[in-house]
Amino acid sequence: SHDGEIDETSKHDQLDEVRENPEGEELTSDHGVKISDTDNSLKAGERGPTIMEDFHFREKMTQFDHESIPERVVHARGTGAHGYFQPYEDPDLGDEYDDIEEVTKAKVLTDSDQKTPVFTRFSTVVGSRGSSDTVRDVRGFATKFYTEEGNWDLVGNNMPPFFIQDAMEFPDLVHAIKPEPDDGMPQASAAHDTFWDFASLKPEISHMIMWVLSGRALPRAYRMMQGFGVHTFRLVNDDGESVFVKFHWTPELGTHQLVWDETTKLWGKSSDFNRKGLYDVIEEGYDPEWELGIQIFDEEQAEEFDFDVLDPTKIVPETEVPVRPIGKMVLNETPDNFFAEVEQVAFHPGNVVPGIDFSNDPLLQGRLFSYQDTQLNRFGSANWDEIPINRPVAERHNNQRAGFMRQEINEGKASYKPNSIGDDDPQEVPEEEGGYEHYAEKISGKKIRNRSDSFEDHFTQARLFWNSMSEPEKQNIVDAAHFELGKVDRMEIRERMVYDLFNNVDHGFAKRVAEGIGVEPPESPGDELPDHDREDPSLSMENRT
Ligand code: HEM
């Protein structure tokens, strides 16, 4: 539809225009010439060499030779599905706000008559495209909302905190967590020296490490997984007023995990366990659902917390700010073509619509550059937004032109402004008419490269997480630490994890971990690292678990 009216089927209608099903059709070349034989190359003589002139051979082979595109630098392995999002009528936002329009003007979140089409991609983070589903890892939960006001991408994870505080550290984190650069191992697991070396030197990682060692890192099914926007974002209303927001997806089926022994068996039996699970239930008509919830709080409330809401290693406890359900997402259709839809979908946290805005979280700020940039690597062209799965359903007009694989045929002479010769020159839209306006936050300060003091507390929320676990869950975390750290060759890394991180999280936890990995248990909270000479810093084979 091109008149601003968008419903659940809009994206399907748009995609239908490019869908192809050549079943039963005559074979042709890419240029439409009918082909009589696609099994034998053109030869000089009965048993002679292949002839350069064979345009069909060259076309078929060239297409094949260029079939692959770079996999995503992170979140390479995933699956996706189509569906819709629909806001609830009159959601309960607590005492402070009467209705949702008070906090945001984004129609996708407020208009309960509207089913906005969505495409959601779930992923693991570390493993390559061909790795296994059931590894210990964070999971991506990225949703593209094709709204009438343009695309909004909520690019989240299944855990609410993150590893680091500043986007500047992301290349280091990913280098540490990806297979080691000399031998390319391990494929897709946290169990290696470089990751734990990095972690043991970065106390800010403590909170996220507790989540990663927990069952959260072993989701039983994508449809049984929560999602989180992680960062604090902003919502903005019609009057230009803003509140902070955290986004939460809650699965209708509840949040469930596998246990470690199941995951290791599944690696062997079905490396597609999570991907196939999602595909199969949708094909069978059990459409998974998630509720979208928001935690909303204003600047004054934010100031009162004993952590900084701009620090992505922190969550806003639900005891402080409850999660308010505002709508639901249903995934009801599997893709027809994995490459065209799942592989080519390209998310970007910078895709926002009026009423949704960013905070100054330094991790989020860096992501706003990184995703746009990485798509150039994946697609080789700034025109990745023209690929069918990425195209908005909302109309678009501008003077952006040309580039590799340009699809649109822009008419007229003027692709610049101001101009006096093209009367259909795209015009700007005032804010009142829906033109995007960045929230006019007042900023002043010195230009400095720093880490705010308010980002300093690395252990309180990690401890909160540990203390919120039941004993069996605690034992799972300890077992996971034994397994993961037991694979670390260098003893000093194991020691730093126990003394510099875990002993600051919880003394009892640190002792339990130490006991299983050949580290002398700390005697009391706050104990310093044992100072002893080690003849060989690496462990002998016998000491590895
Ligand atoms: C994917 C960068 C933090 C969630 C990616 C990709 C890059 C990237 C380059 C590959 C995108 C592609 O090729 O299409 C970064 C940087 C971060 C960061 C620089 C921090 C500075 C986060 C955080 C989250 C997250 C905090 C969760 C809130 C995701 C997801 C995907 C992804 C879900 C996969 C999207 C898909 O399914 O295609 N990230 N990321 N990332 N990232 Fe991040």
**Residue 534, pLDDT score:** 55
Strand-pairing partners, residue 82, are 119, 333
| Mean pLDDT of the 121-128 span | 97
Residue whose CA is at the smallest distance from ligand 1 atom 3: 367
**Cβ(205)–Cβ(226) under 8 Å?**
no
pLDDT at 545 over 60: no
For 99-118, give the secondary structure using H, E and C: CHHHCCCCHHHHCCCCCEEE
Instruction: Give the pLDDT confidence of 86-115 residue by residue, as tens digits.
Output: 999 999 999 999 999 999 999 999 999 999
Query: What residue owns the CA closest to ligand 1's atom 18?
Result: 367
Distance CA 165, CA 206 (A): 12
Q: Whose CA is nearest to atom 20 of ligand 1?
A: 167
The pLDDT of residue 544 is: 46
Of 42-51, 331-340, 404-413, 497-506, the least confident: 404-413
Per-residue 3-state assignment (H helix, E strand, C coil) for 247-276: EEEEECCCCCECCHHHHHHHHHHCCCHHHH
Residue 528 pLDDT grade (very low, low, confident, very high; cuts 50, 70, 90): confident
- Phi and psi of 473, rounded to 5°? -65, -40
Residues tagged active-site: 75, 157
State the residue for tokens 């390479």. 76
The percentage of the chain sitting over the pLDDT mark of 90, rounded to a whole number, equals 88
Least confident of 51-60, 294-303, 427-436, 529-538: 529-538
Specify the residue with its C-alpha closest to ligand 1, atom 13.
Answer: 72
Query: Residue 123 forms beta bridges with which residues?
Result: 78, 140
Residues 6+ apart with CB under 8 A from 200: 493, 496, 497, 500, 501
For a mutational test of ligand 1's pocket, the pick from 79, 371, 373, i.e. the residue with the most ligand atoms closer than 8 A to its C-beta, is 371
Q: Is 330 helix (H, G, I), strand (E, B) or coil?
A: strand
Distance CA 124, CA 157 (A): 10
pLDDT score, position 538:
52
pLDDT tier at 309 (50, 70, 90 boundaries)? very high
Residue 104: exposure state from Cβ atoms within 10 A (0-12, 13-18, ≥19): buried
DSSP helix/strand/coil, 34: strand
Amino acid at site 164: I
Q: Are 76 and 128 in contact (CB under 8 A)?
A: yes
Nearest by Cα to 163 from 182, 127, 190, 133 = 190
Measured in Å, residue 168 CA sits from the centre of ligand 1 at 14
pLDDT at 537 over 70: no
- Give the integer Cα–Cα distance in Å for 402 and 396: 15
221 CA to centre of ligand 1 in angstroms: 21
Say what angle helices 170-177 and 193-200 make with each other, to 10 degrees: 140
Q: Which residue has the tokens 């994206």?
A: 11
User: Mean pLDDT over residues 497-514, rounded?
Assistant: 98
Q: pLDDT tens, 247-259? A: 999 999 999 999 9
Please check whether residue 322 is in contact with residue 299, taking contact to mean a CB–CB distance below 8 angstroms.
Answer: no
Tell me the pLDDT tens digit for each residue of 45-86: 999 999 999 999 999 999 999 999 999 999 999 999 999 999
Average pLDDT over residues 183-194: 84
In angstroms, what is the span from residue 231 Cα to ligand 1's centroid?
12
334 CA to centre of ligand 1 in angstroms: 23
Nearest CA to ligand 1 atom 25: 156
pLDDT in tens, 161-182: 999 999 999 999 999 999 999 9
In three-state secondary structure terms, 153 is strand
92-101's contacts with Cβ under 8 Å and 24+ in sequence apart are 92/324, 93/296, 93/324, 93/326, 94/322, 94/324, 96/296, 97/296, 100/326, 101/237, 101/238
Tens-place pLDDT, residues 368-406: 999 999 999 999 999 999 999 999 999 999 999 999 999
Mutate to test the pocket of ligand 1, among 155, 157, 246 (most ligand atoms within 8 A of CB): 155
**DSSP result, 280-297:** HHHHTT---EEEEEEEEE
Tokens for 130?
């061909």
In the three-class reduction of DSSP (H, G, I as helix; E, B as strand; rest coil), residue 326 is classed as strand
pLDDT tier, 542 (very low <50, low <70, confident <90, very high otherwise): very low
Above 60 in pLDDT, residue 41?
A: yes
Structure-block tokens of residue 481: 């630490």
pLDDT of 365 > 80? The answer is yes
Ligand 1: nearest atom to the Cα of 121? 37
- Label residue 266 by pLDDT band (50, 70, 90): very high
Q: Which residue(s) pair with 236 in the sheet? A: 242
Atom of ligand 1 nearest to the CA of 123: 37
Using the atom order of ligand 1, give the atom closest to the CA of residue 229.
28
Portion of the chain with pLDDT greater than 70, in percent: 96
Q: What is the mean pLDDT of the chain?
A: 94
**What is the pLDDT confidence band of residue 481, given thresholds at 50, 70 and 90?**
very high
Q: Which ligand 1 atom sits nearest the alpha carbon of residue 169?
A: 21
User: What is the rounded distance in angstroms from the CA atom of residue 400 to the CA atom of residue 52?
Assistant: 40
CA of 248 to the centre of ligand 1 (A): 17
- The whole-angstrom separation of Cα 155 and Cα 78 is 14
Is the pLDDT score of 23 beyond 50? yes
The whole-angstrom separation of Cα 86 and Cα 108 is: 8
pLDDT at 531: 73
Please give the distance, rounded to the nearest whole angstrom, from the Cα atom of residue 139 to the centre of ligand 1.
11
User: For the chain, how big is the Rg over CA atoms in Å?
Assistant: 26
CA of 506 to the centre of ligand 1 (A): 31
Q: Tell me how far apart the alpha carbons of residues 129 and 137 are, in angstroms, rounded to a whole number.
A: 14
Question: Using CA positions, which residue lies closest to atom 40 of ligand 1?
Answer: 367
Alpha-carbon span 452 to 38, nearest angstrom: 64
For 155, the 3-state DSSP assignment is strand
The pLDDT of residue 422? 79
In this prediction, residues 31-44 reach a mean pLDDT of: 97
pLDDT at 226 over 80: yes
Residue keyed to tokens 């259709």: 333
- Of 141, 339, 347, 373, the one to substitute when testing ligand 1's pocket (max ligand atoms within 8 A of C-beta) is 347
> For 217-229, what is the mean pLDDT?
98
> Bridge partners of 538?
490
Ligand 1, CB cutoff 6 Å, lining residues: 72-75, 78, 121, 123, 140, 142, 155-157, 162, 167, 170, 230, 345-347, 363, 366-367, 370-371, 374-375, 378
| Model confidence band, residue 43 (pLDDT cutoffs 50, 70, 90) | very high
